[in-house]
Amino acid sequence: MAELFSPFTLKSVTLRNRIVMSPMTMYRSVDGRADDFHVMHMGARAAGGFGLLFPEQIAITPDGRTTVHCGGLYDDDQVEGWKRTTDIVKAMGGVSAIQLGHTGRKGSEVAPWEGGHQLAADHPEGWECRAPSAVPYGGEGAHPVHELTVEEIREVHQAYADTAVRAVEAGYEWIEMHYAHGYLGASFFSPIANQRTDQYGGSLENRARFHTEALDAVRSVIPERIPLTMRLGADDLHPAGATMDEAVAAISLMKEHGLDLADISAGFNTPDMDGTPLGEPSGFLDRALRVKREVGLPVGVSWNLGVPANAERAVRAGLDLVFLGRPALANPHWPVWAARELGHESPFDLVPEDYGWWLKNFRGHAPSIGWPEPAPAAEVVDLDAAAAAVPHQQRPRVTA
């Protein structure tokens, strides 16, 4: 059997396979709440065979959202909606994970298809962004940001803890901290965004203090059985930014504070990146495997692992979890497709029993079930030859 479909256990949680639906912002929430869309979104992919499923980054405060349409769990009234999603995921055989985050200096935006630009603090749907230093993202012309005081940093850590408590109440069995993609955690780690001179800036240990204290705050309020993981912007891909050498050292510190798995990604703390591997297949795999070798933690990674053979090779190389974002949006049954591509003996065992029974017990023409398999040679239709056999005057006219 392909290693991609082997179970994975972390703490008391066992995943049915190594395939993770990565957090992807959907811009579908009203006041941070989940609704029928989120139940459909999560349930379809759980039924499609994903082992671990994230909805999107879930904001720990109202100003931690990217837009006013992003999900949050900063209020008790938001628990019920997200509980509906964890219930359907569990019913379909998956495990629900939540990524707790704060967008920091990248917040107060409009949706990307509306331009993705930031709104001023006095706009009805805008707010003043907060960050480790008063350094806006994007440089000159960007909206100013507020530099967090030490007391405000402690309030953010408390917000992480309070949201984690709600997450457990909502049925989440896995908690990830979002320290990547230019958001608040990534900003504290990066010298590009963090120019503080106090205990939260300067040295690597100081720049990682925000992260270790947030981990401590969350670990202290959640059951020990729940894995605590994080996505780190491990490389800013810029000479003035965070490096992989620093990331390895920082993750070693986080391991001492209860970190169970490292999910490796890019910093995205500046649009001016050099030598980016974002367009390369398995672009961040080597960085993740380095963390596993040198820190001794399980690792996951995303970025261009949507070709099943590449995902399988990554797991065989030592990767513990494959995170898929766009592939999960494009194909809710990606795990079933991957199983077929990799020669799994029974791909339809990956879906719920009622789905699987109908898909395995065909009545009629097997290739016509909507999940194509190579047809026998006698059934392959040569469309070019068939078209050539039709007299020209009988062919349908194609008009613009």
pLDDT-based confidence at residue 388 (cuts at 50, 70, 90):
low
Q: What is the pLDDT of residues 275-319, one digit of tens each?
A: 778 888 888 999 999 999 999 999 999 999 999 999 999 999 999
Report the range of poorest mean pLDDT among 10-14, 174-178, 340-344. 340-344
What's the pTM? 0.92
Burial of 68: CB neighbours in 10 Å, binned 0-12, 13-18, 19+: buried
**DSSP secondary structure of 104-172:** GGG-SB--GGGT-PBPPTTSTT----EESSS--TTSTTSPP-EEPPHHHHHHHHHHHHHHHHHHHHTT-
- Map out the domains of the chain with their CATH numbers: 3-369 (3.20.20.70)
**74 an active-site residue?**
no
Catalytic residue among 74, 179, 183, 200: 183
How many other β-carbons are positioned within 10 Å of the β-carbon of residue 28?
17
**DSSP secondary structure of 217-268:** HHHTTS-TTS-EEEEEEEE-SSTTS--HHHHHHHHHHHHTTT--EEEEEE--
**Among candidates 190, 185, 241, which has minimal Cα distance to 212?**
185
Beta bridge partners of 322: 19, 301
Q: Hey, what are 163's tokens?
A: 């949201």
Across the range 370-384, mean pLDDT stands at 53
Q: Hey, what are 391's tokens?
A: 């007299």
94: CB partners within 8 A, 6+ apart = 16, 45, 46, 50, 51, 52, 53
Q: d(Cα 246, Cα 158) in Å, to the nearest integer?
A: 26
Residue with tokens 């993770």: 20
Q: d(Cα 232, Cα 219) in Å, to the nearest integer?
A: 18
Q: What is the pLDDT of residue 174?
A: 98
Q: What is the pLDDT of residues 85-104, one digit of tens each?
A: 999 999 999 999 999 999 99
